[in-house]
Amino acid sequence: MSQLHSSDKTAEQAQRIAAQAAEWIVRLDDQPDEQTLKAYQTWLAQDPRHAEAIQRLQQLIGSVEQLTVQYANLQVPKQILQQALTPTQQRSTRKLPTKTLFSLVLAIGFGIFGALQYAPLDYWTADTRNRSQSWQQHRLSDHTQIQIAGKGAYNLQYNAQQRVVQLLQGAILVDVAKDAARPFIIQTEHVQIKALGTRFMVTHTTDQTVLTMLESRVEVQSTQQSQASIVVEAGQQIRINAAGFVEDHPTPINPQLFEQAWQQHILVANGESVVEILDILALYYDGKLSFDRTALASLKLTATLPLDRVDESLEILAKELNLKLNNSVPFYIKISKKS
């Protein structure tokens, strides 16, 4: 009983300190006078946990303020705290109950956690982003058309010399508008793709970038400068990762089949590793897929999988490859080999 009582007391102290830290951050953001600053320094000196709480909350606030989040409840955290601490329009600070302030801190924390589980930070700050179960078409200022599918995001860098699309993640199908004065380039962390024609697909996931040519041709340069650029033509596909080109030469594909699969929201897997397949399915899942990449790397599959029904696709993988799906936590699925 004494240990339980001690644990409860420690938790209560941590809540109180977190609430005090939240109050101090708001007060210091409001043009503090010398007396306020002196009181703040005194509070910091009272307990080393005070400085730790301030540091944690400042890191939390910094992360949130970088997010351009679509959820209405994820506002700028300083504004949330200030509204809570000063519910009227007066400038003076009013102290709320400890539990109320601590709950606000927790809400912000869970908001960040949820957003970053859904997608990394650069997704939330991108010029254009798309949600997991969404297929959209965008017309750019030069009349180039980009179809984007699933959890994707890209930035645009257009100027007088070139047109650059920085694909941060996701799958796009591009119809390039002609502009003799400005080359059109797709960039990912693995590759630079310079369009020499019109129509192609690019899928960028955690470990690799896959280029699928539907029409004409492109020039491909790996970020590994030791490798020479290659030309990929219609009816060919190539994979590029951090080490460079995965294959020595582009692989022949049926462009009509891949375009039809795109329009029907289907993933065509032709002997790919299940890790590659899961990376793509993760773009279409409204949550997080977790798996051991090393443990599953040797498993391969040939199949067509629905991208608009990820749960069904996972069930197919589990049945064909003897995998276990653990979805006990909402919006989080852990995939592993059955023992």
- Write the DSSP assignment of 117-173 as a string of letters: HHS-HHHHTSSEEE-TT-EEEEE-TTS-EEEEEEEEEEEEEE-SS-EEEEEEEEEEE
- CB-hemisphere CA count at 13 Å for 27? 20
* Predicted pLDDT at 332: 87
Q: Which tokens hold the place of 140?
A: 């750019």
* Predicted pLDDT at 101: 52
Residue ranges for the chain with pLDDT beneath 50: 1-4, 67-96, 98
Q: Which of 265, 296, 264 is nearest to 279 (CA)?
A: 296
* Predicted pLDDT at 54: 83
Q: What are the start-end ranges of the H helices in the chain?
A: 2-28, 34-46, 48-65, 77-85, 98-118, 121-124, 255-263, 274-282, 293-296, 310-321
* Predicted pLDDT at 30: 63
* Predicted pLDDT at 20: 81
Sign of CA dihedral 119, 125, 129, 131: positive
* Predicted pLDDT at 2: 45
Three-state DSSP state, 250:
coil
* Predicted pLDDT at 329: 75
Q: Are 131 and 113 in contact (CB under 8 A)?
A: no
In the chain, the amino acid numbered 167 is: L
* Predicted pLDDT at 62: 59
